[in-house]
Copies of this chain bind each other. A is one copy, B any other.
């Protein structure tokens, strides 16, 4: 079986770098494309093999099933976006700058990885319950980091928030939905900055 080690070190553009060997990595990329184009249910192992330029039998060398591919994709992707926001938070101390960092990273990740993000998002229900729980835990940690920021910023008097839960939800939604509509522009970085400006408004701070 291919190894999909924790992507903690994967903050670069290539979030698949930790997937070894290269054939397994090529398979995952092909599976992302196949699931995005045809939907998880409709995509076949044969489609995926073809997109990867391999024989159908080669898929099974690295992954037991289509379900295993979806699981690996969801895990690598969710870990990568969690890493992106964690790294952004580590760079800042001021509550407003931390919020800006989180939102910029979150939005830029979803723009940059929009095809992958769409597959994870739309096919979550196709995961087995155990795999879902594992992927969902990463997503909850990602959301939990934002809620902590809102709490701390409010406690420090930097944010004026009426409803922390709804505000966190709205900020996450703005970012997650980027994957649905994003194609090529503006650049992930520019979009991230614009959404950071909006998040600052939502928390009643002054950026």
**A70 CB within 8 Å of chain B:** no
Among B42, B172, B195, B204, contact of A166 (Cβ-Cβ < 8 Å):
B195
In contact, A194 and B174 (Cβ under 8 angstroms)? no
In contact, B178 and A173 (Cβ under 8 angstroms)? yes
A3-11, A33-41, A59-67 - interface stretch:
A33-41
List the B side residues contacting A39 at CB < 8 Å: 39-42, 126
Residues of A that sit less than 8 Å from B by CB: 38-42, 121-122, 126, 162-163, 166-167, 169-170, 172-174, 176-178, 180-181, 191, 194-195, 197-198, 201-202, 204
- Complex Cα–Cα for A195 and B162 (A): 11
Q: Which residue of B lies closest to A39 (CB)?
A: B41
Q: Give 8 pairs: A residue, B residue, CB < 8 Å, sorted on A.
A: A38-B41, A39-B41, A121-B180, A169-B181, A170-B174, A170-B195, A176-B177, A201-B201
Beyond A39-B39, A173-B178, A173-B181: 8 further Cβ-contacts under 8 Å?
A121-B180, A162-B197, A173-B180, A174-B174, A176-B177, A177-B177, A201-B201, A202-B202
Shortest beta-carbon distance, A67 to chain B, in Å? 14
The 8 closest A-B pairs by CB, nearest first: A41-B42, A173-B177, A166-B194, A39-B41, A177-B177, A170-B174, A173-B174, A41-B41
Among B121, B122, B162, B198, contact of A170 (Cβ-Cβ < 8 Å):
B198
Among B42, B167, B178, contact of A42 (Cβ-Cβ < 8 Å):
B42
Shortest beta-carbon distance, A48 to chain B, in Å? 15
- Complex Cα–Cα for A169 and B180 (A): 12
- Complex Cα–Cα for A204 and B174 (A): 17
List the B side residues contacting A197 at CB < 8 Å: 162-163
Q: Which residue of B lies closest to A167 (CB)?
A: B198
List the B side residues contacting A121 at CB < 8 Å: 180
